[in-house]
Amino acid sequence: MNEKEKKTREPLFHIAKRPAIEWWKAWLIRGGAIIASLIVCAFIIVILTKQNPLEVYAAMVKGSFGTPRKFWAMLQNLAILLCISLAVTPAFKMKFWNLGAEGQVLFGGLCSMVLMFTVGDKIPNWMLIASMLAASVLGGILWGLFPAVLKAKWGTNESLFTLMMNYIAIQLVAFAIMVWVPSGSSVMGLVNSTTKAGWLPDLFGQKYLINILIVAVLTVVMFIYLKYSKHGYEISVVGESENTARYIGINVKKVIVRTMILSGALCGLAGFLLVSGTNHTISKELAGGNGFTAIMVSWLAKFNPLIMVLTSFLIAFLQKGAGEIATNFKLNTSIADILTGIIIFFIIGCEFFINYQIKSTKSKEGK
Amino acid sequence: MLSTIASFINAAIIQGIPLLFGSTGEIITEKSGNLNLGIPGIMYVGGISGIIGGYIYEHSVEKTVPIICILVSLCASLIGSALMSLIYAFLTQTLKANQNVTGLALTTFGVGVGNFFGGSLLKFFNESGSISLLDTGLAYKKALPFASKLGLFGNTFLSFGFLAYTAIIIAIVSSIILNKTRVGLNLRAIGENPATADAAGINVNRYKYLSTLIGGMIAGLGGLYFVMDYTAGAWTNNGFGDRGWLAIAIVIFALWKPKSAILSSFIFGGLYIICVYIPGLSSSSKEIIKMLPYLVTIIVLVVISARKKKEHQPPQSLGLTYFREER
Amino acid sequence: MGAPAIELKNICKTFGSITANKNVSLTVNNGEILSLLGENGSGKTTLMNMISGIYFPDAGHIFIDGKEVVIRSPKDAFDHKIGMIHQHFKLVDIFSAAENIVLGLKEKGKFDIKDIEKKVADISAKYGFDIDPSKKIYEMSVSEKQTVEIIKVLYRGANILILDEPTAVLTPQETEKLFAVLKKMKEDGKAIVIITHKLHEVLAISDKVSVLRKGEYIGTVMTSETDESQLTEMMVGKKISLNINREEPEGAQDRLEVKGIDYESIDGVKILDDVSFTARSGEILGIAGISGSGQKELLESIAGLRKLDGGEIIYHNPKTGTSDNLRDRTPTQIKELGVRLSFVPEDRLGMGLVGNMDIIDNMMLRSYKKGKTAFVERKQPRDLAEKIISDLEVVTPSANTPVRRLSGGNIQKVLVGREIAAAPTVLMVAYPVRGLDINSSYLIYKLLNEQKANGVSVIFVGEDLDVLVELCDRIVVLSSGRVTGIVDARNTTKEEIGLLMTGTKGGSSDE
C-alpha cells in the first residue's frame, strides 16, 4: 500500500481523556462559552426585534435593575431559584439524579397551605408560621424519601421515579384547590388577605427581605456543610467513587437516604417561602419550572454554593430581562426560556474541551 | 350506555395518539442508551414547526390544496424536531455532555420555542388574534371515507385523521424492527452494553445519533397531531401541557416495548379524560384520577426493580456516556 | 509457503507513562498455532487488543497476508477476518446465544433467528460443542459463555483467531474439547494465537511459542525444540540483582491467620478456594501469582470488603492478646475492634484515593471521622500531607493539588504514605510499584522494610518475581485461587515460583 493510501485510511485524530487541566484554563473555557452564547443570543434577538443588540441588552438590564420594585422582584426570584439549587446540590454531588425538586417544592408548599387555610385564624400567628415551616420541611422530606429508600434497597431508577413524583404533587395541589375553591374556577386567590395569618412579615418595609435573608444564610451554611462537615465529606467521596467509600467504611446506602432527606427538606423550605413569604396562595405553577432550572444552575456552578449565587443570578436576570424586552417589543415572554436554553447548551458543551483533548494522529507519528 | 362507552373509547384513543408518538420515539431513543428528557420540548417544537409551516403556506396562496397543506406542515414539523434531536445528540454523543442536564435544558428550550412562536407568530405578520389554521386542520382531520358508513364501530375506531393510524403503524413497525431485524438487534445491544456492541463491529456513534434523530422526529409528530388534528389547527400556549412527561411515563409502563406502548397510550389517554365520562364526579376527584397514570408508573418502576427480571429492566447503559478508549 | 497470515513489526503502545508494548514483532502462518507467553503486565493482551481494533498502536506496522493494514476499529479487524475471544466476555446478557453470535454481522438475506439458531447448532455439532442457541446468556455458566464466544468467531469465518487465556475458566474435559477444535481449525489452514501461561498447555497445543517480558519481545522458539525450563527462563528472565535490603525478621509472632477461606463470584466461579496462610509480625509475606488468581479478592476479603463463603480470618491483637475473627465484618467494625489494618489497593485512584480531591482531603479518607464535632478537622491532615510531601519527596505544586494531576509514582507515594501514617499492625500492599520509576520503587521498598523493622506484618502482592524473591521473607504462591506453595524467599528461585504460579507443580491446575 502506498503512503498516500495509508494516510487516508488512518483516523485523522482521536479523542482522549485529559489527565487534568489548570483551573484557570477551565474557567477561561467556560467564560469563552458564555461570551459565545451571548453573541448567539444577540443574533437571535436582532433577527426577532430588528433593534440594536446593545439597546436590547440595555433594556434587559433595565428589566432587572430599572426600579427598586423590579430589583426586589428579581432578587426574590433569584432567592427561590438559589434555594432550590442548594437543595438539589448535595444529592447531585453524590450522583443521585433528583429530578423531583419541582414536586418536592410543590408538596412542601401544599403542606404549608393546608395549615394556613385550615387553622389560619385559630392559633397565634408565630405558632402558625412555625408549624407551617415544619410541615413544609416534613412534606419535602417525604417526597424525597420514597425514591431514596427504594434506590438504596432495590436500585430503582431515581431519575424516572423522582420525575413521576412531580406530577403526583401537581395533581394533589390541583385536587386541594378544587376542594378549597368551591366555584371550580381552579384559581385560588390570596389566602387570609385580611388577617395576614401565616404570612411572613415585611422586614424594613420590604416584602421579600426575609426570604432573601434566609436563602443568603442557607447559601453560606450549605457551603460550609459541603466543604467542612463530615457529612459533606462523605457525600463527596460517595459521589466520586463508591468503591473508595466502601474501602474506608462509609455506609453508602445510609448516606444516600440521609442526603435525600436534606435535599427534600430544603425543597420543602423553598415551598414554604413561596407560600408564606411570596405568593400567599398556591397553584400548580408554584415552583414554575424552577425545580428543573435549579438542576442546571447547580450543574453550571460545579456544585459550589457560592458560584451558584452567580449562576442563579444569570438565570434570574435573563428571565426578568427577557420579560422586559418582551413587553417593550411586544414579544412573548418565553423568549427567556429560549435564551436560557442556548446559554446552557454552550456551557454544558464546553465541558468537553475541559475533560477531553483531541489528539492528531499525524503529529504523533512525527512525519 | 353503549354510545357513552364508544365515545369514551374514541376520546381515549384521540388522547392516546400524541402519547403514543412520544413514547414510541422515546423508546427508540432509550434503546440506544440515550435517556432523552428533551422529548417534551421536542414535541412542542414538532407542533409549532408544523403550525409555522402551515401558516406560511396558507398565507402565501389564494386557495389551499389539502395535500400540500399536509406536506408543508409535516415537513416543517419533521425538520423542527430533527434539529432539536440533533442538538441533543451532538451534545451528548460528540461532546459527551451529561444526558439529564442536556435533556432538561432541551425541554426548557423547546417549550420556550413553542410558546414564543405560538405567541408571537401573528405579530411577525402584523396580525392579531390567535393562530388558527382552518384549512390545514381540516386536511389533517379527514377521516377514512367509509368510517361513517360503518355505524358505531366505524365512528369509534375508524373516525380518526391519518396521523392516528400512522402512530399505530409506526409503533408496530418499530416493534418489528427492534425485535426481528439486525438493525434492531444491534440497537438493543448498544443500549445494553455499548462496549460489546463496539467490539462486535457496530458503529455505536452512528446508531446512537440515528436513533435519537428518528426517535425525536417520531415524537415531534405527536406535537403535530395535537395541534393539527386534536385542536384543529389552533395553537394555545402551554396547551400541550405535560403530555411529554406522560409519554416518558408510558415508556416505563410499557416496559420499553413499542407494541405495549400502543395499548398503554390508550389506557393513559383514557385515564386523562375518564373523569368526563364518570357521572356525578366532583371536580376535585377528577384531579385525583388524573394522578393515576403517574402513580401506576411508579408502581411499575418499583416492581420491576424489586423483581429484577432481566427482560423488564431499562436498557442497562441508559443515561451513561460511552467512550471507547476508557482505561 | 505464502505470506504469513499476520505479521507485526515494531509495535509500540503506551498508556500515559506506562509502556505496555515496546517494539514487538511476531509472525503467525496459516495452519499454525502460536502461543503467546508472558507474565502479568507483559503486554500480551494489549498487543492482541491492537490487532482486534480495541486499541490503536502508537507506532509500528501490521501486515495481513503480506499487505500492510490499518486496524482502526473492531469492524476493521472483522474485515481482515480476525476474531478475538476476550478473557472478559463481550456478550449482551439479555440476548440469546444465537443473537449474540450474529450481533453486528451484515449478512445478506432475511434475518431469521430460527435460521441462525440452526446454523449455530450445525457448527456446534460439527465441532462437538454442547450449546442451546436460544438460551439467554444470563442463564449460562462461564464455560457456556465462552463456547458462545468461540462459536461467534467461527460463525464469522475468521481466518485468524486470538484466544485470551481460554482455558482459565474451563474444566479439563472442556479444555480437551477446545484443543480438538483448535486442531481442526489449524488443519483448515487457520492461523491461531493463544495467550496462556500454562506451560503444559503451551507444549501440548502450539507449533511455536513467542515470549513477551515487561512489554518487550524476547523471542520465538519452535515448540518441538523447547521444554518447560527454557520457556520459564524466557518468561521470567535471568536473575537480576536488585540489591534490595532484607534484614532477618526479629521476634516474629503470628499476627493474621487466614484459615481455609472460600470465595465465589456472582457467576458462581470459585475465586478463592481453601486459601490458608499465616502472616507474622516483623516480616514481609509475598503473594505471587498470575494476575486474576484471586489476589485482589484475598486482600479485599481481609479488609472487610467482601462476604466470604467459608473459612476464617483470625487476627491476634498484640496489645490485648485477644484473637478476633474478622470474617464478614465491615471496615468500620474491623477498626472498632482495634485492628490497625492498612491497605494499599491495586486500584489507586479508583479505590485508595479520590482523584478529584486534593492531597489533604485524601489524607482525611482514613481520619475524617475523628473528633466529636460535625465538622472535619483539616489541620492534622494538612500537617500529614506536608510531612508526606517532604519526607517522601512527592513532586506536587502544593498540598492543595488534586491527586489526579500527580504522576503515577507521586500518587503512590501519597497513598502509601497515608496508609503507613496510620501506624498499622498489618499492612497490605497490592502491586505497589506498578508503573513506578526505579527511584520511586526503591523508596517504596525502603518504606516497607521500615514497617517490617517496626514489627508490622506486611503482606506484599507483587508481579515482579525478582522483587518478590529479594524483598520478601516468605512467598505464598496462588494459582487459580488456590495456594500451590509457600516458599522461603531466601532459598528459592524465580523458576520454582514460576512453575508454581503456572500450576505445573503442586498438581492443582488440572482439577
Q: Which ranges of chain B would DSSP assign to H, the alpha helix?
A: 2-31, 39-60, 66-89, 99-124, 134-141, 151-157, 162-180, 182-192, 194-199, 204-225, 243-253, 258-277, 283-307
Whether C434 has a pLDDT exceeding 80, the answer reads no
B288's grid cell: 385525583
Cβ pairs A/B, distance under 8 A: 170
Q: Three-class SS of residue A56?
A: helix
Q: Three-class SS of residue A71?
A: helix
Q: How confident is the model at residue A4 (pLDDT cuts 50, 70, 90)?
A: very low
- What residue type is assigned to position A344 of the chain? I
Q: How confident is the model at residue B325 (pLDDT cuts 50, 70, 90)?
A: low
Cβ <8 Å between A249 and C353: no
Instruction: Select the residue of A14, A230, A247 nearest C375 (Cβ to Cβ).
Output: A230
Cβ <8 Å between A292 and B87: no
C322 touches chain A (CB under 8 A): no
A128 in a structural domain: yes
C310's grid cell: 467459608
Mean per-residue pLDDT for C486-495? 88
Mean per-residue pLDDT for B79-98? 94
Task: Answer whether A322's CB lies under 8 Å from A38's CB.
Answer: no
Cβ <8 Å between C104 and B311: no
Closest CA to B167 of B47, B12, B17, B269: B17
Task: Answer whether C453's CB lies under 8 Å from C465's CB.
Answer: no
CB contact burial B283-308 (16+ within 10 A = b; e otherwise): bbebbbbbbbbbbbbbebbbebbeee
Instruction: Select the residue of B192, B200, B327 nearest C74 (Cβ to Cβ).
Output: B200
Least confident of A94-108, A233-247, C152-166: C152-166
CA distance C404 to C357: 8
Task: Answer whether C9's CB lies under 8 Å from C60's CB.
Answer: yes
Number of domains in chain A: 1
A12 in a structural domain: no
Query: Which pTM does this prediction carry?
Result: 0.83
A355 touches chain C (CB under 8 A): no
Task: Answer whether A214's CB lies under 8 Å from A278's CB.
Answer: no
Closest CA to C107 of C54, C162, C157, C160: C157
**Kindly report the CA angle at C495 between C492 and C499, in degrees rounded to 5?**
105
35-64 in B: which are within 8 Å (CB) of A?
A: 35, 37
Instruction: Select the residue of A156, A159, A341 nearest B108 (Cβ to Cβ).
Output: A341
Please, which residues have CB within 8 angstroms of residue A204's CB and are 6 or more apart in sequence? none
Choose, out of C13, C93, C103, the residue to mutate when testing the contact with B (most B CBs < 10 Å): C103
Q: Which ranges of A229-334 would DSSP assign to H, the alpha helix?
A: 230-240, 242-247, 252-272, 290-300, 305-328
A256's grid cell: 444516600
Cβ <8 Å between C106 and B189: no
Cβ <8 Å between B185 and C102: yes
C18 touches chain B (CB under 8 A): no
A194 in a structural domain: yes
Q: Which ranges of chain A would DSSP assign to H, the alpha helix?
A: 3-9, 23-49, 53-65, 68-93, 101-118, 125-154, 158-180, 209-228, 230-240, 242-247, 252-272, 290-300, 305-328, 335-355, 361-365
Q: CATH second-level architecture of B2-312?
A: Orthogonal Bundle (1.10)
Q: For residue A196, give the DSSP letter.
A: -
C172 touches chain B (CB under 8 A): no
Q: Give Cα B150 distance to the centre of its chain.
A: 30
The secondary element (H helix, E strand) that includes residue C366 is helix C359-367
Q: How confident is the model at residue A12 (pLDDT cuts 50, 70, 90)?
A: low
Name the packing angle between helices A335-355 and A305-328 (round to 10°): 140
Whether A19 has a pLDDT exceeding 70, the answer reads no
Query: Which pLDDT belongs to residue C511?
Result: 31
**Structural domains in chain C, sorted by start:** 6-236 (3.40.50.300), 252-340+423-511 (3.40.50.300), 348-422 (no CATH)
Choose, out of C300, C368, C377, C415, the residue to mutate when testing the contact with A (most A CBs < 10 Å): C368
Tell me the residue range of the domain where A294 lies. 52-328
Instruction: Select the residue of A1, A19, A230 nearest C68 (Cβ to Cβ).
Output: A1
Mean per-residue pLDDT for A346-361? 80
Q: For residue A329, give the DSSP letter.
A: T
Ramachandran angles phi, psi of A8, nearest 5°: -70, -25
Q: Tell me the nearest-neighbour CA distance from C19 into chain B, angstroms.
A: 14
- What residue type is assigned to position C413 of the chain? K
Q: What is the ipTM of this complex?
A: 0.87
B281's grid cell: 364526579
Whether B258 has a pLDDT exceeding 90, the answer reads yes
A34 in a structural domain: no
A218 in a structural domain: yes
Q: What CATH number is attached to the domain comprising A111?
A: 1.10.3470
Half-sphere exposure (Cβ direction) of B148: Cα atoms closer than 13 Å: 3
**Touching chains, C (3+ CB pairs < 8 A):** A, B
Cβ <8 Å between A296 and B242: no
Q: Which residue of A has its CA nearest to C335?
A: A249
Q: How confident is the model at residue B142 (pLDDT cuts 50, 70, 90)?
A: confident
Mean per-residue pLDDT for A190-203? 75
- Hey, where are the domains in chain B? 2-312
- What residue type is assigned to position A272 of the chain? F
A-chain residues near B37 (CB < 8 A): 99, 159, 163
C335 touches chain A (CB under 8 A): yes
CA distance A30 to A22: 13
Whether A365 has a pLDDT exceeding 60, the answer reads no
- What residue type is assigned to position C64 of the chain? I
